[in-house]
Amino acid sequence: MTFIKNLFVVLSVGFLFLSNFLHAADDVQPLQEEVKEWLTLKNLMFGAKAVTSGETSTVRLTVNKDLDDASTVPILIEGLVDQNNDRFIEKLYLIVDQNPIPTAAIFEMSPSRGSLHLETRLRIEKFTYIRAVAQMSDGELFMDQRWVEVKGGCSAPAGKNAGIDPLLGKMKFKLDKYKNSFKDADGKRTFRVELDQPNLLKVQVRHPNESAMASDLDANANPNFIQKIRVGFNEEELISAEVNFSISDNPAFMFHFSPEHQGELSFSILDTHDNQFVDSVSVLGLKRN
């Protein structure tokens, strides 16, 4: 994303922040294509380009229907096309129409083999549509959306504001074949995975990811949330993202990881207090009998 477009998006979400408070949305489900916040954001971010949804979309969004906590709403985004160099999902926009900052995340994806699989958890402030917009490598835009009926997640108490957390930024890694993990001679966490196959990786970061709306936020403290994420493997960048407090506290991300060879899997984050946290694990191929 160019500097100008970054500035454009920042200005747009600032406008929508104000708009959300001046024009509170009703709790009645509107037609997804007529939500004024979405129409404004769509015009600012994508201009006159068509955004295709429905059966021909290249992306599918699933929201956990057991919604009892607006500050932790699990979602799953799946790509319906293979990620390869010919044509792939290049960017993924995660949008929550009625949140103070509607653009919850912008992910940049690599054309690694396999299909896109991304899970995380959101804060939801009002009844709203959640949208996943996939920008293809050829520029086409596709979308899937779901209506959710929970509220108060962005202003919910974070419970993490008292004192300094000595574990701030600590990361936990888990692969679906967790029984194949061990520590090497230097104490470094190592995973054995199936090479050339999608392995589901979960990364969770200890962080309050608090918004200025949190009811328990110290009036003298500045809110602190993660704003940049990078996942790399050896010299390759697998995923990078710009995020905000629409992602829940102690953010967790799950995605498919399909290494062709062994190497070092790294994860780094930068928050709004300029704290940078970095961690990594070693990846080896499974031993064959």
What CATH number corresponds to the domain at position 174?
A: 2.60.40.2470
Sign, CA torsion 230/226/105/283? positive
Rounded Cα distance between 14 and 87, Å, is 33
Residues 6+ apart with CB under 8 A from 100: 17, 20, 21, 125, 154, 211, 213
- Distance, in Å, from the CA atom of 206 to the CA atom of 168, rounded to the nearest integer, reads 5
pLDDT digits (tens, 9 = 90+) for 216-255: 666 677 888 999 999 999 988 989 999 999 999 999 999 9
Give the distance, in angstroms, between the CA of residue 269 and the centroid of all CA atoms in the same chain. Answer: 12
Token pair recorded at residue 156: 């919910």
pLDDT of residue 7: 39
**Residue range of the domain that includes 111:** 3-285
DSSP 77-98: EEEEEE--SSS-EEEEEEEETT
Whether 6 shows a pLDDT value over 80: the answer reads no
CA pair distance 181, 161, nearest whole angstrom = 34
Amino acid in position 101:
I
Task: Provide the whole-model pTM.
Answer: 0.85
Please give the full DSSP string across 167-201, using - where no structure is assigned: TTT-EEEEETTGGGEEE-TTS-EEEEE-TTS-EEE
Q: Which tokens go with 102?
A: 């509607």
Per-residue confidence at 205, pLDDT binned at 50, 70, 90? very high
Task: Render pLDDT for 253-271 as a digit per residue (tens, 0 to 9).
Answer: 999 888 888 999 999 999 9
Q: What total of structural domains would you count in the chain?
A: 1
* DSSP letters for 12-46: HHHHHHHHHHHSPPPSSPPPGGG-HHHHHHHHHHH
118, two tokens: 């991304």
pLDDT of residue 3: 40
Smallest Cα–Cα separation from 123: which of 100, 143, 93? Answer: 100
As a whole number, the mean pLDDT across the chain is 84
Single-letter amino acid code for the residue at 226: I
What's the rounded mean pLDDT across residues 158-178?
75
Residues 44-101: pLDDT tens digits? 999 999 999 999 999 999 998 788 889 999 999 999 888 877 889 999 999 999 999 9
